[in-house]
Protein backbone atom coordinates (compact mmCIF):
# COMPACT_ATOMS: atom_id res chain seq x y z
CA UNK A 1 0.00 0.00 0.00
CA UNK A 2 1.39 3.39 -0.93
CA UNK A 3 0.80 6.38 1.28
CA UNK A 4 -0.43 9.54 -0.26
CA UNK A 5 1.80 12.58 0.09
CA UNK A 6 0.31 15.09 2.46
CA UNK A 7 -0.07 18.62 1.10
CA UNK A 8 2.73 20.80 2.31
CA UNK A 9 1.55 23.40 4.79
CA UNK A 10 2.66 26.94 4.07
CA UNK A 11 4.05 28.68 7.08
CA UNK A 12 2.63 32.18 7.45
CA UNK A 13 4.93 35.10 8.04
CA UNK A 14 4.64 36.94 11.40
CA UNK A 15 3.00 39.86 9.60
CA UNK A 16 0.42 37.60 7.94
CA UNK A 17 -0.32 35.76 11.17
CA UNK A 18 -0.73 38.99 13.14
CA UNK A 19 -3.04 40.45 10.49
CA UNK A 20 -5.11 37.25 10.53
CA UNK A 21 -5.48 37.46 14.32
CA UNK A 22 -6.62 41.09 14.19
CA UNK A 23 -9.04 40.39 11.32
CA UNK A 24 -10.58 37.49 13.24
CA UNK A 25 -10.92 39.55 16.41
CA UNK A 26 -12.55 42.39 14.44
CA UNK A 27 -15.11 39.96 13.01
CA UNK A 28 -15.95 38.70 16.50
CA UNK A 29 -16.32 42.30 17.68
CA UNK A 30 -18.73 43.16 14.87
CA UNK A 31 -20.84 40.03 15.20
CA UNK A 32 -20.87 39.52 18.96
CA UNK A 33 -19.23 42.44 20.75
CA UNK A 34 -15.81 43.48 22.02
CA UNK A 35 -16.39 41.64 25.30
CA UNK A 36 -16.24 38.32 23.43
CA UNK A 37 -12.69 38.90 22.24
CA UNK A 38 -10.43 36.65 24.30
CA UNK A 39 -7.14 35.00 23.41
CA UNK A 40 -8.77 31.57 23.73
CA UNK A 41 -11.77 32.50 21.56
CA UNK A 42 -9.58 33.87 18.76
CA UNK A 43 -7.37 30.77 18.98
CA UNK A 44 -10.44 28.55 18.60
CA UNK A 45 -11.59 30.49 15.54
CA UNK A 46 -8.19 30.05 13.92
CA UNK A 47 -7.70 26.43 15.11
CA UNK A 48 -4.41 27.27 16.82
CA UNK A 49 -3.11 27.14 20.37
CA UNK A 50 -3.90 30.12 22.65
CA UNK A 51 -0.16 30.49 23.17
CA UNK A 52 0.23 31.55 19.55
CA UNK A 53 -2.22 34.42 20.08
CA UNK A 54 -0.53 35.49 23.31
CA UNK A 55 2.80 35.53 21.48
CA UNK A 56 1.50 38.42 19.39
CA UNK A 57 -0.83 39.91 22.01
CA UNK A 58 0.33 39.16 25.57
CA UNK A 59 -2.42 41.46 26.85
CA UNK A 60 -5.95 40.84 25.55
CA UNK A 61 -6.90 44.53 25.89
CA UNK A 62 -4.36 45.39 23.19
CA UNK A 63 -5.99 42.92 20.82
CA UNK A 64 -9.40 44.43 21.61
CA UNK A 65 -8.19 47.94 20.77
CA UNK A 66 -6.53 46.79 17.52
CA UNK A 67 -9.66 44.91 16.48
CA UNK A 68 -11.72 48.06 17.01
CA UNK A 69 -9.20 50.15 15.07
CA UNK A 70 -9.19 47.64 12.19
CA UNK A 71 -12.98 47.54 11.92
CA UNK A 72 -13.50 51.30 12.15
CA UNK A 73 -10.71 52.07 9.68
CA UNK A 74 -12.38 49.75 7.16
CA UNK A 75 -15.68 51.52 7.89
CA UNK A 76 -14.25 54.96 7.20
CA UNK A 77 -12.52 53.82 4.02
CA UNK A 78 -15.71 52.20 2.72
CA UNK A 79 -17.83 55.26 3.50
CA UNK A 80 -15.21 57.77 2.30
CA UNK A 81 -13.09 55.76 -0.17
CA UNK A 82 -9.69 57.39 -0.71
CA UNK A 83 -9.80 56.46 -4.42
CA UNK A 84 -12.98 58.55 -4.86
CA UNK A 85 -11.47 61.88 -3.84
CA UNK A 86 -11.90 63.19 -7.39
CA UNK A 87 -15.69 62.82 -7.16
CA UNK A 88 -17.79 65.90 -6.30
CA UNK A 89 -17.66 66.49 -2.52
CA UNK A 90 -21.46 66.54 -2.30
CA UNK A 91 -21.62 63.03 -3.77
CA UNK A 92 -19.04 61.75 -1.29
CA UNK A 93 -20.88 63.34 1.64
CA UNK A 94 -24.19 61.90 0.44
CA UNK A 95 -22.75 58.39 0.28
CA UNK A 96 -21.27 58.76 3.76
CA UNK A 97 -24.39 60.01 5.52
CA UNK A 98 -27.13 58.17 3.62
CA UNK A 99 -25.27 54.89 4.11
CA UNK A 100 -25.27 55.49 7.86
CA UNK A 101 -28.87 56.70 7.92
CA UNK A 102 -30.19 53.69 6.02
CA UNK A 103 -28.64 51.23 8.45
CA UNK A 104 -26.12 49.78 6.01
CA UNK A 105 -23.52 50.04 8.76
CA UNK A 106 -25.67 49.03 11.72
CA UNK A 107 -23.12 46.53 13.06
CA UNK A 108 -20.48 49.23 13.08
CA UNK A 109 -22.83 51.64 14.86
CA UNK A 110 -23.25 48.97 17.53
CA UNK A 111 -19.48 48.54 17.67
CA UNK A 112 -18.95 52.25 18.30
CA UNK A 113 -21.58 52.18 21.03
CA UNK A 114 -19.94 49.13 22.56
CA UNK A 115 -16.44 50.65 22.37
CA UNK A 116 -17.39 53.95 23.95
CA UNK A 117 -18.91 52.13 26.91
CA UNK A 118 -15.99 49.75 27.44
CA UNK A 119 -13.39 52.49 26.94
CA UNK A 120 -14.31 53.82 30.37
CA UNK A 121 -12.52 50.81 31.83
CA UNK A 122 -9.84 49.99 29.22
CA UNK A 123 -7.08 52.52 28.57
CA UNK A 124 -5.86 51.03 25.25
CA UNK A 125 -9.41 51.02 23.89
CA UNK A 126 -9.99 54.60 25.06
CA UNK A 127 -6.90 55.70 23.13
CA UNK A 128 -8.08 53.80 20.05
CA UNK A 129 -11.54 55.39 20.20
CA UNK A 130 -10.04 58.87 20.44
CA UNK A 131 -7.68 58.20 17.55
CA UNK A 132 -10.48 56.95 15.31
CA UNK A 133 -12.75 59.85 16.25
CA UNK A 134 -9.94 62.23 15.30
CA UNK A 135 -9.30 60.47 11.99
CA UNK A 136 -12.98 60.55 11.03
CA UNK A 137 -13.30 64.20 12.08
CA UNK A 138 -10.25 65.15 10.01
CA UNK A 139 -11.56 63.29 6.95
CA UNK A 140 -14.94 65.02 7.21
CA UNK A 141 -13.40 68.47 7.70
CA UNK A 142 -11.23 67.93 4.62
CA UNK A 143 -14.30 66.85 2.65
CA UNK A 144 -16.28 69.92 3.73
CA UNK A 145 -13.36 72.23 2.93
CA UNK A 146 -13.11 70.77 -0.56
CA UNK A 147 -16.86 71.26 -1.01
CA UNK A 148 -16.59 74.91 0.04
CA UNK A 149 -13.76 75.48 -2.44
CA UNK A 150 -15.85 73.84 -5.17
CA UNK A 151 -18.82 76.06 -4.36
CA UNK A 152 -21.00 73.11 -3.32
CA UNK A 153 -21.16 73.87 0.42
CA UNK A 154 -21.67 77.10 2.31
CA UNK A 155 -20.10 77.38 5.75
CA UNK A 156 -17.66 79.69 7.45
CA UNK A 157 -16.35 77.01 9.81
CA UNK A 158 -15.75 73.52 8.41
CA UNK A 159 -14.70 72.11 11.79
CA UNK A 160 -17.84 73.36 13.52
CA UNK A 161 -20.03 71.98 10.74
CA UNK A 162 -18.25 68.62 10.93
CA UNK A 163 -18.74 68.45 14.71
CA UNK A 164 -22.47 69.13 14.37
CA UNK A 165 -22.78 66.40 11.74
CA UNK A 166 -20.77 63.85 13.72
CA UNK A 167 -22.71 64.55 16.92
CA UNK A 168 -25.89 63.83 14.95
CA UNK A 169 -24.30 60.62 13.60
CA UNK A 170 -23.38 59.56 17.15
CA UNK A 171 -26.92 60.33 18.30
CA UNK A 172 -28.29 58.08 15.57
CA UNK A 173 -25.86 55.36 16.64
CA UNK A 174 -27.22 55.52 20.18
CA UNK A 175 -30.37 53.81 18.84
CA UNK A 176 -28.41 51.01 17.11
CA UNK A 177 -29.60 48.43 19.64
CA UNK A 178 -33.22 49.57 19.61
CA UNK A 179 -35.60 49.06 16.69
CA UNK A 180 -38.24 51.31 18.27
CA UNK A 181 -38.56 54.95 17.25
CA UNK A 182 -38.98 57.76 19.79
CA UNK A 183 -42.53 58.65 20.84
CA UNK A 184 -44.47 60.89 18.50
CA UNK A 185 -43.57 59.00 15.34
CA UNK A 186 -40.42 61.04 14.66
CA UNK A 187 -38.17 59.29 12.14
CA UNK A 188 -34.65 59.73 13.46
CA UNK A 189 -32.87 58.03 10.57
CA UNK A 190 -32.41 61.28 8.63
CA UNK A 191 -31.29 63.50 11.50
CA UNK A 192 -27.62 63.45 10.47
CA UNK A 193 -28.53 63.96 6.80
CA UNK A 194 -30.78 66.92 7.61
CA UNK A 195 -28.15 68.38 9.94
CA UNK A 196 -25.58 68.30 7.16
CA UNK A 197 -27.97 69.93 4.69
CA UNK A 198 -28.76 72.70 7.18
CA UNK A 199 -25.15 73.35 8.22
CA UNK A 200 -23.79 73.30 4.66
CA UNK A 201 -26.47 75.34 2.89
CA UNK A 202 -27.93 72.45 0.91
CA UNK A 203 -31.57 72.17 -0.10
CA UNK A 204 -33.68 69.70 1.92
CA UNK A 205 -33.46 66.27 0.34
CA UNK A 206 -30.39 67.18 -1.73
CA UNK A 207 -28.15 64.43 -0.34
CA UNK A 208 -30.62 61.62 -0.89
CA UNK A 209 -31.27 62.97 -4.39
CA UNK A 210 -27.54 62.72 -5.14
CA UNK A 211 -27.44 59.12 -3.94
CA UNK A 212 -30.45 58.22 -6.10
CA UNK A 213 -28.91 59.93 -9.12
CA UNK A 214 -25.61 58.09 -8.70
CA UNK A 215 -27.39 54.77 -8.22
CA UNK A 216 -29.46 55.33 -11.36
CA UNK A 217 -26.36 56.30 -13.31
CA UNK A 218 -24.48 53.20 -12.15
CA UNK A 219 -27.42 50.94 -13.04
CA UNK A 220 -27.69 52.50 -16.50
CA UNK A 221 -23.96 52.11 -17.12
CA UNK A 222 -24.09 48.46 -16.07
CA UNK A 223 -27.09 47.77 -18.29
CA UNK A 224 -25.33 49.26 -21.32
CA UNK A 225 -22.14 47.26 -20.81
CA UNK A 226 -21.79 44.46 -23.41
CA UNK A 227 -21.85 40.98 -21.91
Out of 7-21, 193-207, 208-222, least confident range: 208-222
| pLDDT mean over 184-199 | 82
Domain that holds residue 143: 68-224
pLDDT at 5 over 80: no
Q: Is residue 192 part of a domain?
A: yes
Whether residue 53 lies inside any domain: the answer is no
In a domain, 200, yes or no: yes
Q: Is 174 among the domain residues?
A: yes
pLDDT-derived band at 24, boundaries 50, 70, 90: very high
Q: Please report, for the domain that includes residue 111, its CATH number.
A: 1.10.357.10
pTM: 0.83
The total number of structural domains in the chain stands at 1
Task: Quickly list DSSP for 85-149.
Answer: TTS-HHHHHHHHHHHHHTTTTHHHHHHHHHHHHHTTT-HHHHHHHHHHHHHHHHHHHHHHHHHHH
In a domain, 194, yes or no: yes
Q: Does any domain span residue 81? A: yes
| pLDDT computed for residue 218 by the predictor | 52
Assigned domain for 40 exists: no
More confident residue, 176 or 26: 26
Amino acid sequence: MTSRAQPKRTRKSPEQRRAEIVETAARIALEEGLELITLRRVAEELSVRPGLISHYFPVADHLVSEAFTHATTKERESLLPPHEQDLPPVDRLARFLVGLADGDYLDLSRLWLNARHLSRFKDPLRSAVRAQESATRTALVDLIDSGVRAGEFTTGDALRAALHILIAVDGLGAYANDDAQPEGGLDISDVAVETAETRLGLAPGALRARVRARSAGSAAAEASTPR
